[in-house]
A and B are shown apart, each in its own frame.
Chain A
Amino acid sequence: NAGVTQTPKFRVLKTGQSMTLLCAQDMNHEYMYWYRQDPGMGLRLIHYSVGEGTTAKGEVPDGYNVSRLKKQNFLLGLESAAPSQTSVYFCASSRRGMGPQHFGDGTRLSIL
């Protein structure tokens, strides 16, 4: 039982490059989330989804896009990476809108 799986685990990009982070969950959860974690700032919500085919903006959405074409997958895209997007990105999922969130182990992204 894998839970929430994030790929890749590490990535280094140059400024202006694009990439997609993949999140997959096998718990049949409706809700999925993308957070970024920066030192001393806890977790901040980037985008979230309340079901297949839906997406919504979180606290810090600028510079990111997301898609939820399949219930089990939630993709986070960076169209033109900037050094300010260097961070650790976590995906999470939950069965209900208010309840325990299950996190993946993160993607460490460095943008030079």
Chain B
Amino acid sequence: GENVEQHPSTLSVQEGDSAVIKCTYSDSASNYFPWYKQELGKGPQLIIDIRSNVGEKKDQRIAVTLNKTAKHFSLHITETQPEDSAVYFCAASGRGSGGYNKLIFGAGTRLAVHP
């Protein structure tokens, strides 16, 4: 079935370092890949997304890369700050119906940024 694997499950970095989270997906038809940040007690919040016709997308300190051939995509956070500490989820679109492409989520990565 459709599956998204996310690594690592926990990541600890020093403030100012870079953080990289990687995801692989199983459905070659997937064409939309969002990343969500979830802070304690809150719902997931979209931070960046990429579609399959683009290989890389940047937004300030955050970037996402996509390798369609290998079926993996990654989130890169540069110059990390303590407020980047949160759980990050990747997702890939799956086969749905009624004009809807369901999202398959990874299990999440808990990022801790230490001052």
- When the two chains form their complex, are residues A42 and B100 in contact, meaning their CB atoms are under 8 A apart? no
Q: Which residues of B contact A (CB under 8 A)?
A: 4, 6, 9, 31-32, 34, 36, 41-46, 49, 89, 93, 96-103, 105-108
Say what secondary structure dominates the interface of chain B: loop
Q: Is A2 an interface residue (CB 8 A)?
A: no
Q: Which residues of A contact B (CB under 8 A)?
A: 4, 31, 40-45, 48, 50, 54, 56, 58-59, 90, 92, 97-106
Alpha-carbon distance A71/B49, docked complex (angstroms):
26
Closest to A108 in B: B41
Alpha-carbon distance A41/B49, docked complex (angstroms):
21
Closest to B98 in A: A50
Chosen A-B contacts, 11 in total, with CB atoms closer than 8 Å, are: A41-B107, A42-B6, A43-B89, A43-B103, A56-B100, A58-B102, A97-B100, A97-B101, A99-B32, A100-B49, A104-B43
- When the two chains form their complex, are residues B105 and A43 in contact, meaning their CB atoms are under 8 A apart? yes
Say what secondary structure dominates the interface of chain A: loop
Alpha-carbon distance A99/B97, docked complex (angstroms):
15
